Each structure stands twice: as C-alpha cells, then as structure tokens.
Amino acid sequence: MKTLTFRLSLILILCTLLAVCAPIYPVHAENLSITTHARAAALIDVESGRILYSSRGDEPMLIASLTKIMTAIVAIENGDLDSKVKVGKNAFAKEGSSLYLKQGEEMKLEDMLYGLMLRSGNDAATAIAEHVGGSEQGFVYLMNAKAEELGLTHTHFANPHGLDAEGHYSSANDLAVLTAYALHNPVFKEIVKTQEKTADNPYEKWDYKWANKNKMLRLYEGADGVKTGYTKKALRCLVSSATRNGQQLVAVTLNDGNDWNDHAALLNFGFNHYPLKTLIERGEGISGYSFVTSKKFAYPLGQGEEARIVTKLVLNEQPGASGGTDARSSFGLKGSLVLQLGGKEIGRVPVYTPDKLPPEQSLYMKRYTPAGAAAYPADTWLQALGSALRALLQMGK
C-alpha cells in the first residue's frame, strides 16, 4: 500500500511539473515535415534498420537499374569473386547502358561487379546472372528468394538489369531495407563508394576505366553510395548513402526529377533530427544480476525520444518441475534486454554470464518499421506526459 501511495504521489508531482513547464520547455517543438519531388521516397538508418521517413513507401513501382543492388548482393553472396565470367550471346550488346563487353570475353567476377554498379552495365548484369545462377532465370529465382528472406513484400524481380518488364517492381521502403542489408557486406560497401575503377582488358591495348555515375559521391559530404537508375517509364531513380559521425543513412527516391537536391535534403534531415545514439555497450553489467550484455546497441533517436525508452530484462525459463534446464542456459545465455519506444520493441540484446560471453558478431538483423520516425510522436507536452507516465508505471513491475 505504501508503494502504491508513493507511486501515485510521484505521478501527481510529475503531472504538475509538466503542466507548469510545458509552455516554456516543449519536448518536441521542431517541425519535422519534409517534402521531395519524388513519387515515392524513403530514408533509413543502416545500423538499426529504422525507417526515418517514408512517402508512398510501400507503393510498388518500376525501379530501373536500382535492380542491380539486388543483383550485386546476390552475386557477392553466391559467387566466387575470383572466378572468370564469360560473356555469352544474351549478354553481348544488351540494350541500354553497357560496358561494351565482347562476346566470349572473360572478366573476373569482382571486376564485373564494379562495372555493374559504377557504369550500370546491362551486359554485365546478364553475364553475372548466367554465371552465378546458371541462367538468367535461375539467377532471378535467387533474387526473389533473397527478397522473400528479407521480408520485401512489395518486391518482385523479372530480370537482373532493371529494364522495364511485367512483374518487375519494388517500393521505396523495400529498396531502403535491401540497401541497408547490402551495406553490411564489406565487398558491396567498397564497390558502391568507389568513384573510379580500372580493370584489366586483355583484348585491347587499353584497360577498362569506369567513373561512377552517382554524382552524390562528389556533391554531398560523406556520400558513399549507392546506385542510379533510369528508364523511359521508371524515369529518374536514385539510392544514395552517406556517413557522418559514425552514422550511415540511405535515401531512396523513385520517379524524381530533382533527385540530387532531394537526396541532400533527405540525408540532412536524418542526420540533423535522428542522430544515432549508443544505448548499450557490449559487456555492460546488469544491475542486480551477474550478467553482461553481448553486444552494443545503437538507435537513431529524435528529440525527446531517449527519455522515453523502456528497457526490460526478460530471463529464459527457469528449470521445470522435471528438473530439466533450458539448453541455452548451459551455454551462458540467460535472457535478453528488450528495448521499447512508444510501446514498440526496437531491439533486444542477449545477456550472458561473463565467463561464457561469445565473440562479438556483426550480423545484420532487420528491424523495419515503415514511417518509423512518425511512430513515436511527442510533439506536445501532453504526449510527453503520457510517455513519461507509461515509463513510470513500469517501475516495480
């Protein structure tokens, strides 16, 4: 009874303080609206997978050569980068953008991936698909399997190059998630940030030399990717990435006649309003327990959001009546720290006994929330009060 009375007193005090101070110290006074010239757009934080902005983000649309983001990551994950790709008759003189590869020519897969992403070679896309997938159709199967694995529910591929075709589409949100995933691969990350690449050409006196078509690499400070695209039906499409202060963001626009400027605005919006903040460090102790955290956890947070994060320790099931133990416990895994914002889970960090803390891993686990930046509003003192009360009521549970 004393505990309940104490909590009620705290709530009353909190209500009074917020009511008095709200007009002077608003929790979220900034106007976070942003517009682009795109038919669809999205902005994502690469480390967390949080969607920071979305406009028509789930609308399936033509995506032109943004397709090659999936082509590249599937080839990297399934192919031998040192293997020789032979240019067949289907790849030779493929319509659209090209590396001007000769039929029968052979090139190392890694070099061809640079040509694919820097110069958007449709001949390279076809040659890579036939080499890695056995046929273009076999490779497209791998592309769609990867889309399903990543939960890209508004995406379907019909070819590896992005030329307009029936049943070939994606969405701004899906492309954001796909690119965030791909950027966790060091080979992909290195390719898309390269401004110029030279590759051997044993068939001529001169080597191949490819300059990246992505002007964002030169126009925007910290830009490090990713891919341009255009067809007469899809119009201008762009996926860009940039890193500042240890945070990497990805912007996506589809059908955008002013994409370079729009991407600069989107990236600025993300860096300015949703900086990445480390909430948990690897090896941190858990108060009241002899456990430590197994990994660092960082998340992009808007103004006032960090104070509203609730962290719960969820332990593994204890030994049952039969006397058996949870198999995971024998390996030191004791449970997880679950982090929530606005009542929604934003991540979890496994906790272990210190003597059985496993090596740190960097596997990318997608935590995808469409229009996530708008999912936890606190633009008024009343909303902040509600969040504070929810957090307070978690005490003692």
284 touches 295 (CB < 8 A):
no
Contacts of 95 (CB under 8 A, 6+ apart): 122, 163
CA distance 20 to 358: 49
Residue 52, both tokens: 């920071």
Contacts of 249 (CB under 8 A, 6+ apart): 43, 44, 45, 46, 52, 241, 242, 243, 267, 270, 271
Residue 370, both tokens: 């469409």
Q: Which residue out of 55, 68, 171, 336 is catalytically annotated?
A: 68
Ordered DSSP codes for 143-202: HHHHHHHTT-TT-B-S-SS----TT-BB-HHHHHHHHHHHTTSHHHHHHHH-SEEEE--T
Is the CA virtual torsion 52, 55, 58, 62 positive or negative? negative
Interior angle at CA 20, CA 14 and CA 26, nearest 5: 90
Q: Among 210, 41, 1, which Cα is nearest to 114's?
A: 210
Q: Which residue out of 65, 170, 336, 387 is catalytically annotated?
A: 65
Element (H, E) at 48: none
65 belongs to the catalytic site: yes
387 belongs to the catalytic site: no
91 touches 123 (CB < 8 A):
yes
Interior angle at CA 330, CA 327 and CA 334, nearest 5: 85
- In the block, tokens 């509003």 appear at 377
With H, G, I as helix, E, B as strand and everything else as coil, classify residue 122: helix
116 touches 124 (CB < 8 A):
yes
Burial class (CB in 10 A: 0-12, 13-18, 19+), 373: buried
Contacts of 90 (CB under 8 A, 6+ apart): 126, 130, 136
Q: Which residue out of 48, 54, 120, 387 is catalytically annotated?
A: 120
CA distance 315 to 336: 6
334 touches 351 (CB < 8 A):
yes
98 belongs to the catalytic site: no
The residues that are catalytic are 65, 68, 120
